[in-house]
Chain A
Amino acid sequence: MNLVLHVWRQKNNSEKGKMVRYEAQDINPHMSFLEMLDVVNERLIQKGEDPVAFDHDCREGICGACSLTINGRPHGPERGTTVCQLHMRHFKDGEEIYIEPWRAKAFPVIKDLVVARQAFDRIIQSGGFVSVKTGSAQDANTILIGKDTADKAMDAAACIGCGACVAACPNASAMLFVAAKVSHLALMPQGQVEKQKRVLNMVRTMDNENFGNCTNHYECEAACPKEISVDFIAQMNREYLHASINEKR
């Protein structure tokens, strides 16, 4: 198949970027989207041009590195799928495809389609953990957790930290990311002791990191490659309210 790509090119963080048109010819529909870009890049290098930079690593939909906005949608058209798992058979021959980086103030562009997402790490630093030192744990089966609770915690913990939720949100809010971690730990007995401090610190760090507010558009859930539910946002809001009331007391 043949495609026309419009790709965001930006030399570095300080220079302005622009969309550039490329023709991608003889693309095998069984290729993944990133394999298609590999082919385009090989050809650019051959011509002595700068290949398109994009983040990727596992190419299995689990590391959260890949981060392309395709035709305005983070990770592209297929639900519950990272762009590394998206295959060209979902596109039509002759289609024009627009490829951009995540767009969010908190995720500045480094080059082309590569953005900086350290703001997520800093949110985790501020409380996304259980403070247990290595060696101090009791036998694993002394903490009992019902299957339903464990499954629900796992649903939240499945977040891959890619940032598609932020990129999809009209306000560039990080609520779904933060809510997933807060809920994962708040659901489990291990997370109880630090639960109030955790939610307060994580939400405050999020606010300081240039993410926008959540105004319930729920675009985040639709874009999330792990289909993490916005119910966790409601859960976090409850945790937050509870913690802030207690804090004032």
Chain B
Amino acid sequence: MKLDARIPAGPLAEKWDKRRFDAKLVNPANKRKYKIIVVGTGLAGASAAATLAEQGFAVESFCYQDSPRRAHSIAAQGGINAAKNYPNDGDSVQRLFYDTVKGGDFRSREANVYRLAQISSSIIDQCVAQGVPFAREYAGYLDNRSFGGAQVSRTFYARGQTGQQLLLGAYQALERQIGLGTVKMFPRTEMLDLVLVDGAAKGITVRDMVTGQISSYAGDAVVLATGGYGNVFYLSTNAKGCNATAIWRAYKKGAGFANPCYTQIHPTCIPVSGDYQSKLTLMSESLRNDGRVWASKLKNDKRPPEAIPEAERDYFLERKYPSYGNLAPRDISSRAAKEACDDGRGAGEAGLGVYLDFADAIKRLGEKTIREKYGNLFHMYAKITGEDPYKSPMRIYPAVHYTMGGLWVDYDLMSTVPGLFVLGEANFSDHGANRLGASALMQGLADGYFILPATIADYLARLKPGAVKTDHAEFRKAETQTGDLVKKMLSINGKRTVDDFHRELGKIMWNDCGMARSEASLKHALQKIPEIRAEFWKNVKVAGANEELNQSLEKAGRVADFLEFGELLVRDALERRESCGGHFRVEYQTEEGEARRDDENFCHSAVWEYQGEGKTPVRHQEPLIYENVHLAARSYK
């Protein structure tokens, strides 16, 4: 596997211009002859599909929901970053770049992150022009707030529904193109395989989720914007349908998978309440602008929070990280909460929770202001827990939230398979070992609105358009394999449901490869996962038939892939013998319990290459070269 990131030469600030200038272009009259397949309609996929169609390309767009507007991006709450420096508080492209590299614990590519910071401003401009109702100040100017890992206010937001409003903007742009006939939309259609012809991505095989029909679509390039793989942990803040199937099948067709062990555990989620629980709910990081995080100073303290006097409270983030306080980055805040709970100082029945307290903020700003800022989040909390957060503090605990790893891509966002581009959370590009809050929306839209539309032409211009059609033998082969897999799952007729296997896998992943990972726990997982997988293929019970809407079958396919992918994630975690960002190996920590990186041996991205069924994949390295920032120990003290 050749890993050439194709980073343009020259000074950091000029690389993106240089790349765009050097890129080949497709003549406007020829664009409609090229067909681009875009899988996924989240921020990354919808913005890419709409923009490519505006440019004149023929686009086919796919999603598993009944409408592109329901992609998981809709659930993002807190906001989107941009280096606009409207508050005049010292922000700049350079600072956003630096914060992101540092936030990622120096495990991302300088050139990519710098470009992201450069583009960030245009994203806000674009979204405002579309009519996204961002929060405003009284004079009519855009309002900003702060997010973790930054000392400036650079986060734009639309109440607690930023993802929804940004996605509706992109969705509306997409629907406009569908109306114009430049995009063909296929909702309720799940991609189940990637089709390669002569080594290049030329199409996909899909299952129509209403009729069960398995068929193929051919194109000159394939774009995957299918989101993250957090649901490998079963319980996460992701939507129920989020899956790794598209990227996993692409990996099995030769696309390198980078840094699967970089997963983000978000510090502020509603704690698990019972075995029946189907998902976890995030309480946006924006709450940490005004909420103070604390735990009791005493072990096994069963008093209600109101009864714990001020002197017996440990505001542990403010204590440990005075300069960032409650806005310390996610990985650090999550570990600090875990530490308090491991120490026996957790809140709630099971002791798995810490408090997020608004009493001071309500005193200072009044309940009305707090309601205006966070009303919908408080409402959601009250609904789920039956408790009133205006009266007593919220109880929160870390939960799986985001995945920094993904398919490896070069500077043009092309994977190791020619013609296969990967955008948004599905790729590994910009966040290193930990993503800062409000940066995923920024990255998804940067990829979709601005980066891919500028780089894909360079690939297409070298091809004769429409050279491969679905009558090619490779498509028949993929359809047969996909059909056989479906038949196999339906025929097992064992004793355990798909969810049962998924929960079992999730427990292993969380316990052995969650917030704290050790050589022993990872080896344990590496032994358990193949056992669960083997049992799945002997004992799973999938209801119904293929030729109908069959949610049990859909789940089975996704869980089968998680059962393979989970093993790769653990393997990657085992091989990365250092702690960095969201990847915390207990063997590698400082005396104060902070992550200890090993720049000498691990300043690289690990990229895994599939070797075939039952064979150990090969680990390649893309060295990370820092020419502009100094590799420093990450401190938020």
User: Which residues of A approach B to under 8 Å, CB–CB?
Assistant: 11-12, 28, 30-32, 34-35, 38-39, 42, 44-46, 48-51, 53, 55-65, 80-81, 85, 87, 89, 110-111, 114, 116-118, 120-121, 124-126, 128-141, 143-147, 150, 153-154, 157-158, 160-161, 184-185, 188, 190-191
CB within 8 Å for A60 and B240 given contacts A137-B126, A153-B133: no
Contact of A60 among B50, B122, B175, B281 (CB under 8 A): B281
C-alpha spacing A65/B125, complex, angstroms: 30
- Cross-chain contact B158 with A144 (CB below 8 angstroms): no
Task: Please name all residues of chain A whose beta carbon is closer than 8 Å to the beta carbon of B68 when the two chains form the complex.
Answer: 121
- Cross-chain contact B66 with A55 (CB below 8 angstroms): yes
Name the residue among B74, B142, B185, B241 with the largest chain A CB count within 10 angstroms: B74
0 or 1 for each of B542-572: is its CB under 8 Å from A? (1 = yes):
0110001101100000000000000000000
C-alpha spacing A81/B69, complex, angstroms: 19
B380 interface residue (CB < 8 Å to A): yes
- Cross-chain contact A129 with B175 (CB below 8 angstroms): yes
CB within 8 Å for A117 and B67 given contacts A51-B543, A129-B173: yes
Task: Please name all residues of chain B whose beta carbon is closer than 8 Å to the beta carbon of A120 when the two chains form the complex.
Answer: 67
A65, closest chain B residue (CB)? B70
- Cross-chain contact B239 with A58 (CB below 8 angstroms): yes
Task: Please name all residues of chain A whose beta carbon is closer than 8 Å to the beta carbon of B126 when the two chains form the complex.
Answer: 132, 134-135, 137
C-alpha spacing A145/B158, complex, angstroms: 14
Task: Please name all residues of chain B whose beta carbon is closer than 8 Å to the beta carbon of A45 when the two chains form the complex.
Answer: 497, 541, 543, 552
C-alpha spacing A190/B132, complex, angstroms: 9
- Cross-chain contact B133 with A154 (CB below 8 angstroms): yes
**A/B interface sample: 23 pairs, CB < 8 A:** A34-B278, A35-B278, A42-B499, A45-B543, A45-B552, A57-B240, A64-B74, A121-B187, A129-B173, A130-B172, A131-B176, A132-B173, A135-B122, A137-B129, A140-B84, A140-B124, A140-B134, A144-B140, A147-B140, A154-B135, A157-B168, A161-B70, A191-B131
CB distance from B139 to the nearest CB of A (A): 7
Name the residue among A117, A141, A146 with the largest chain B CB count within 10 angstroms: A141
B136, closest chain A residue (CB)? A150
A61, closest chain B residue (CB)? B380
- Cross-chain contact A50 with B544 (CB below 8 angstroms): yes
- Cross-chain contact A146 with B140 (CB below 8 angstroms): yes
- Known contacts A60-B380, A124-B171, A145-B136, then 4 further A-B pairs from the complex at CB < 8 Å, ordered by chain A residue: A28-B276, A46-B497, A146-B140, A147-B137
- Cross-chain contact A38 with B278 (CB below 8 angstroms): yes
User: Which residues of B approach A to under 8 Å, CB–CB?
Assistant: 47, 50-51, 54, 65-70, 72, 74-75, 84, 86, 122, 124-131, 133-142, 158-159, 161, 164-165, 168, 171-173, 175-176, 178-179, 185, 187, 210, 239-241, 273-274, 276-279, 281, 379-380, 383-384, 386, 449-450, 453, 495, 497, 499-500, 541, 543-544, 548-549, 551-552
- Cross-chain contact A161 with B50 (CB below 8 angstroms): no
- Cross-chain contact A190 with B131 (CB below 8 angstroms): yes
CB distance from A90 to the nearest CB of B (A): 10
C-alpha spacing A154/B280, complex, angstroms: 26
Task: Please name all residues of chain A whose beta carbon is closer than 8 Å to the beta carbon of B178 when the two chains form the complex.
Answer: 121, 125
- Cross-chain contact B54 with A133 (CB below 8 angstroms): yes
C-alpha spacing A40/B339, complex, angstroms: 38
Task: Please name all residues of chain B whose beta carbon is closer than 8 Å to the beta carbon of A188 when the two chains form the complex.
Answer: 131, 133
- Cross-chain contact A134 with B136 (CB below 8 angstroms): no
- Cross-chain contact B176 with A125 (CB below 8 angstroms): yes
C-alpha spacing A57/B42, complex, angstroms: 13
- Cross-chain contact A44 with B175 (CB below 8 angstroms): no
CB distance from B635 to the nearest CB of A (A): 34
Name the residue among A38, A129, A158 with the largest chain B CB count within 10 angstroms: A129
- Cross-chain contact B274 with A157 (CB below 8 angstroms): no
C-alpha spacing A57/B66, complex, angstroms: 11
Contact of B279 among A28, A53, A59, A80 (CB under 8 A): A59
Task: Please name all residues of chain B whose beta carbon is closer than 8 Å to the beta carbon of A31 when the two chains form the complex.
Answer: 274, 276
CB within 8 Å for A62 and B124 given contacts A35-B277, A129-B173: no
- Cross-chain contact A134 with B453 (CB below 8 angstroms): yes
A64, closest chain B residue (CB)? B70
C-alpha spacing A190/B127, complex, angstroms: 11
C-alpha spacing A61/B56, complex, angstroms: 36
B386, closest chain A residue (CB)? A89
CB within 8 Å for A145 and B449 given contacts A85-B383, A121-B175, A137-B126: no
C-alpha spacing A55/B66, complex, angstroms: 9
CB distance from A193 to the nearest CB of B (A): 11
CB within 8 Å for A139 and B176 given contacts A38-B499, A116-B66: no
- Cross-chain contact B67 with A185 (CB below 8 angstroms): no
C-alpha spacing A212/B193, complex, angstroms: 42
- Cross-chain contact B72 with A57 (CB below 8 angstroms): yes
Name the residue among B140, B210, B453 with the largest chain A CB count within 10 angstroms: B140
Name the residue among A11, A39, A147 with the largest chain B CB count within 10 angstroms: A147
Contact of B161 among A56, A65, A158 (CB under 8 A): A158
C-alpha spacing A32/B280, complex, angstroms: 12
C-alpha spacing A136/B161, complex, angstroms: 25
- Cross-chain contact B274 with A128 (CB below 8 angstroms): no
C-alpha spacing A131/B50, complex, angstroms: 11
B67, closest chain A residue (CB)? A121
- Cross-chain contact B159 with A57 (CB below 8 angstroms): no
CB within 8 Å for A184 and B131 given contacts A55-B66, A57-B72: yes
C-alpha spacing A146/B379, complex, angstroms: 26
A138, closest chain B residue (CB)? B125
CB distance from B161 to the nearest CB of A (A): 7
- Cross-chain contact A87 with B276 (CB below 8 angstroms): no
- Cross-chain contact B551 with A124 (CB below 8 angstroms): no
CB distance from B46 to the nearest CB of A (A): 12
- Cross-chain contact B548 with A147 (CB below 8 angstroms): no
- Cross-chain contact B51 with A38 (CB below 8 angstroms): no
C-alpha spacing A128/B170, complex, angstroms: 12
Contact of B386 among A81, A87, A117 (CB under 8 A): A87
Task: Please name all residues of chain B whose beta carbon is closer than 8 Å to the beta carbon of A63 when the two chains form the complex.
Answer: 65, 70, 72, 74-75, 239
- Cross-chain contact A141 with B86 (CB below 8 angstroms): yes
Contact of B66 among A53, A117, A133, A153 (CB under 8 A): A117
Contact of A56 among B127, B135, B240 (CB under 8 A): B240
CB distance from A62 to the nearest CB of B (A): 5
CB within 8 Å for A141 and B141 given contacts A34-B278, A129-B173: yes
A150, closest chain B residue (CB)? B136
CB distance from A60 to the nearest CB of B (A): 6
Task: Please name all residues of chain A whose beta carbon is closer than 8 Å to the beta carbon of B185 when the two chains form the complex.
Answer: 121
Task: Please name all residues of chain B whose beta carbon is closer than 8 Å to the beta carbon of A110 when the two chains form the complex.
Answer: 210, 549
Task: Please name all residues of chain A whose beta carbon is closer than 8 Å to the beta carbon of B75 when the two chains form the complex.
Answer: 58, 60, 62-63
Task: Please name all residues of chain B whose beta carbon is closer than 8 Å to the beta carbon of A190 when the two chains form the complex.
Answer: 128-131
C-alpha spacing A161/B270, complex, angstroms: 26
- Cross-chain contact A134 with B51 (CB below 8 angstroms): yes
C-alpha spacing A135/B446, complex, angstroms: 12
B52, closest chain A residue (CB)? A134
C-alpha spacing A57/B549, complex, angstroms: 16
Task: Please name all residues of chain A whose beta carbon is closer than 8 Å to the beta carbon of B179 when the two chains form the complex.
Answer: 125-126
Task: Please name all residues of chain A whose beta carbon is closer than 8 Å to the beta carbon of B168 when the two chains form the complex.
Answer: 157
CB distance from A64 to the nearest CB of B (A): 6
Task: Please name all residues of chain B whose beta carbon is closer than 8 Å to the beta carbon of A85 when the two chains form the complex.
Answer: 380, 383-384
C-alpha spacing A147/B543, complex, angstroms: 52
Task: Please name all residues of chain B whose beta carbon is closer than 8 Å to the beta carbon of A56 when the two chains form the complex.
Answer: 240
C-alpha spacing A146/B141, complex, angstroms: 8
C-alpha spacing A184/B552, complex, angstroms: 38
C-alpha spacing A50/B50, complex, angstroms: 39
Q: Top 10 nearest A-B pairs by Cβ distance?
A: A144-B140, A125-B179, A137-B129, A129-B172, A137-B125, A140-B128, A150-B136, A154-B133, A134-B51, A111-B549
